[in-house]
Amino acid sequence: MGSRSGATQVIPDLGHNARMAERVIPLVDQRLAAIQPVFSTAPIALGSFWADARGRPLHDLRISVTDRCNFRCSYCMPKEVFNSDYTYLPQSDLLTFEEITRLARVFVDLGVKKIRLTGGEPLLRKNLEILVSQLAALRTPDGEPLDLTLTTNGSLLQRKAQALKDAGLRRVTISLDGLDDAVFKRMNDVEFPVTDVLQGIEAARAVGLGLDAWGQYSNLKINMVVKRGTNEDQIVPMARHFRGSGMTLRFIEYMDVGNTNGWRMDEVLPSSLVLDLLRTQFDLVPLTAQQPGETAQRWGWAGSDGQHDPRLGEIGLISSVTQAFCGDCNRARLSTEGKLYLCLFAHQGYDLRRLLREGADDDQLRRAIAGTWSQRNDRYSELRGQGMAPVEKPRVEMSYIGG
Ligand code: SAM
Ligand code: SF4
Ligand code: SF4
């Protein structure tokens, strides 16, 4: 039962997990919903500031390099949908490394300074370090290197950390939803043990991924999605574990991305409550944002003098549900097969691959990306917060456009 037909996917064999099954919503294949980019007619000066319809600059690009994953996190790729009947994109649909690099160069021409590789699980893409080396060689119109990073579930990091570092990766974000094996295995749903992810984190640290200008590891980030009733008892153990590591531990509110995770508001633990809980146990001091458009509110572990001690590391709170940050969202997303998405909650993408494969030159690509970005008006989370989220159109899955 191919999900690329555009028909609603029928889900077989739901008996083994009745509670989840009741809540999983059948998949409608949003990957098929592609439209042509909007071409800018204005002349394009390289490195100029490209603002969308709400004045937000194009600054970050997230590139999904695969729609596959070796985990089945229930909040992202529930097993009941992403099973052996699910049809992933065929290899020929995927952008090649050369195509990704060419598009990335055009985005950089238009002001992008930060690139995050994601997925699915990006380390499943064969020879990813070759793509990393190609992207690491790009320079902004001012001659600066990019802020190049990657989000991974950490399962393959022990094997790949050195090659990624050698290829020019600067930092990495690793997802880990708890320290208790039973809780973590329930969340990844493939019996993957905590120890192996911790070894991946240690490998990243050992090769210097995420080392900051002060010799700490604040750019080695750990993402924990907090789901009320599932892993909130892991908040304090995770904090205790990473306090002292110099790394940044980020708590992410469980989001209503895609259509298949059976999201419910009562399973969202607001970041304000996470902070309250942490402050009952630890001294924390607020830190200022490092750059505009930053998704996390930053807090530092206080040392004995009551000031932030960077050697201890820091905390990030990502309140995507309770405190929307659409106002300065500067992120574009490039899907695995070359569609440009303007929002994590979008229901369609703009087909850049077709342009590439039809022989568009760089100027045409620049005009397509700049023109499409110029008319961007998305602000889903803000609207959701006001009870006005558009519900009539299904959204693309996060594993397909990248987190
Ligand atoms: N597979 C990689 C990983 O898990 O790190 C990269 C892709 S994953 C889609 C990117 C990030 O999105 C992860 O940190 C993951 O925990 C987060 N994520 C996925 N589904 C989410 C949801 N429903 N709510 C909040 N965060 C989510
Ligand atoms: Fe895979 Fe990452 Fe999604 Fe978990 S969050 S299923 S690791 S893509
Ligand atoms: Fe950006 Fe869309 Fe998220 Fe708002 S909802 S912060 S516009 S990705």
pLDDT tens per residue across span 104-150 = 999 999 999 999 999 999 999 999 999 999 999 999 999 999 999 99
| Residue 53 CA to ligand 3 centre (angstroms) | 14
Mean pLDDT of the chain: 90
The verdict on the CB of residue 368 being under 6 Å from ligand 2 is no
Specify the pairing of strand 349-351 against strand 34-35: parallel
The verdict on the CB of residue 71 being under 6 Å from ligand 2 is yes
Atom of ligand 2 nearest to the CA of 120: 8
What are the residue boundaries of the structural domains of the chain, listed by start?
50-401
pLDDT at residue 261 in the model: 86
The verdict on the CB of residue 268 being under 6 Å from ligand 1 is no
Nearest CA-CA partner of 249 in 274, 230, 227: 274
pLDDT at residue 9 in the model: 32
H or E element in which residue 368 lies:
helix 362-374
The verdict on the CB of residue 118 being under 6 Å from ligand 1 is yes
Residue with tokens 């708590």: 251
Tens of pLDDT along 222-271?
999 999 999 999 999 999 999 999 999 999 999 988 888 889 999 999 99
| Residue 174 CA to ligand 1 centre (angstroms) | 10
Atom of ligand 3 nearest to the CA of 384: 5
Tens of pLDDT along 192-223?
999 999 999 999 999 999 999 889 999 999 99
pLDDT band at 2 (very low <50, low <70, confident <90, very high): very low
Atom of ligand 3 nearest to the CA of 381: 5
pLDDT at residue 174 in the model: 98
Provide mean pLDDT across the span 168-189: 98
pLDDT at 11 over 50: no
Return the axis-axis angle of helices 97-109 and 362-374, rounded to nearest 10°: 60
pLDDT at residue 15 in the model: 36
Higher pLDDT among residues 29 and 183, named by residue: 183
pLDDT at residue 176 in the model: 98
Atom of ligand 1 nearest to the CA of 258: 23
pLDDT band at 16 (very low <50, low <70, confident <90, very high): very low
pLDDT band at 28 (very low <50, low <70, confident <90, very high): low
| Residue 102 CA to ligand 1 centre (angstroms) | 26
Residue with tokens 């760089």: 362
CATH 3.20.20.70 holds for 50-401: yes
Most ligand 3 atoms within 8 A of CB, residue of 379, 382, 388, 395 to mutate: 379
pLDDT at 378 over 70: yes
pLDDT at residue 394 in the model: 78
pLDDT at residue 29 in the model: 64
What is the C-alpha to C-alpha distance for residues 318 and 312, in angstroms, rounded to an integer?
Answer: 20
Higher pLDDT among residues 5 and 186, named by residue: 186
What is the C-alpha to C-alpha distance for residues 372 and 108, in angstroms, rounded to an integer?
Answer: 15
| Residue 172 CA to ligand 1 centre (angstroms) | 14
The verdict on the CB of residue 152 being under 6 Å from ligand 1 is yes
Q: Tokens representing 22?
A: 């009741």
Atom of ligand 2 nearest to the CA of 153: 7
Nearest CA-CA partner of 67 in 350, 334, 347: 334
pLDDT at residue 392 in the model: 63
Higher pLDDT among residues 283 and 42, named by residue: 283
| Residue 20 CA to ligand 1 centre (angstroms) | 19
pLDDT at residue 17 in the model: 42
What is the C-alpha to C-alpha distance for residues 131 and 148, in angstroms, rounded to an integer?
Answer: 11
pLDDT at residue 27 in the model: 52
pLDDT at residue 45 in the model: 77
pLDDT at 5 over 60: no
Q: Which residue's CA is minimally distant from atom 4 of ligand 3?
A: 326
Question: Which span out of 29-33, 128-132, 346-350 was modeled with the highest average pLDDT?
Answer: 128-132
Q: Which residues of 12-47 are buried (b: 16+ CB within 10 A; e: fewer)?
A: eeeeebeebeebbbebbbbbebbeebbebeeebeee
pLDDT band at 31 (very low <50, low <70, confident <90, very high): low
Choice among 28-32, 61-65, 146-150, 375-379 with the minimum mean pLDDT: 28-32
pLDDT at residue 10 in the model: 29
- Total Cβ atoms within 10 A of residue 198: 16
Of the listed ligands, the closest to the CA of 346 is 3
Choice among 46-55, 290-299, 335-344, 390-399 with the minimum mean pLDDT: 390-399
